[in-house]
Amino acid sequence: MNTENTTSQMRKGVLEFCILSIIRRSEVYPSDIIDQMKAAGLSILEGTLYPLLTRLKNAELLSYRWEESVSGPPRKYFSLTEKGETFYQELQQTWTQLADAVNLLTREKDH
């Protein structure tokens, strides 16, 4: 049991939730997601994002449209589908419960 493995496991779980949250706020294209996550202090390997997006899209939680860009080829703009919205709600509920529980437990430990 090493720290790296555990941290990676912890991050893995919330990664999808974070990506969905960013997309839910506004239509974004992949580089935006990376920038926003970096800004929030959650740096990830960029390569990780693309398989996740494709899987979420294949699971019909996300949809995308092409938009022309001024600096280069057209970009894929992602948005949440209805199914994705429900999925997100469920994740959020779980997250709130989990975060509360974790907070409570870790605080009690501090006493």
Partner 1 sequence: MNKIININLAGRLIPIDESAYDQLRDYLNRLKLFFSREEGGDEIVRDMEDRMGELFQDKLKKGVPCIMAEDIAEMIGVMGSPEQIENEAGEEEPARPAPGTARQEQTFAGGKTKHLSRSKRDHMIGGVCGGMASYFNIDPTIVRIALVLITLAWGAGLVVYLLLWALLPVNDLDTPAVKRRLYRNPKQKIVGGVCSGIAAYANIDPIIPRIIFAAPLLGMIFFGIIDQGIFFFPVLTGGLPTLALLYFILWASLPEATTVAEKLEMRGEKVDVLSLSQAIKGAENEKDQPRKRSGIAQIFVVLVKIFVFFVLGTVLLTLAGVIVAVLAALLGFATTSFFVFPFSGLITENINHRYLLWTCVILTLIVPFISIIRVLVRIISGRKKPGSKWLNAALAGLFIFGVFGLFWVGSSIASDFKTPYTKTFNMPLSQPNNDTLIIRQMIIDDGGVVGDHDWDHDGWNNDHDGLRFRDDSTFAVSNLNLHFTNSPDSNFHLLIQKSAQGRNSRRAQQRAEALEFNYRQEGNVLLLPHDFTLPKQQPFRGQKLGIEVQVPVGKVFRTEGLDDNFYTNRIFRVRGGNFSYESSDYDAWDNDKYYRMTAEGPRSSSDKDNNKADSTAG
The nearest distance, CB 53 to partner 1, in angstroms, is 7
Interface with partner 1 by CB under 8 A: which residues? 8, 11-12, 15, 30-31, 44-55, 57-59, 71-73, 75-76
The nearest distance, CB 110 to partner 1, in angstroms, is 30
The nearest distance, CB 82 to partner 1, in angstroms, is 19
Strands 75-80 and 62-67: antiparallel
Please answer whether residues 63 and 81 qualify as being in contact, where contact means their C-beta atoms are separated by less than 8 angstroms: yes
> Which CB atom, from 22 or from 44, has the smaller least distance to partner 1?
44
In angstroms, the Cα distances linking 11 to 59, 75, 76, 108 are: 21, 27, 25, 23
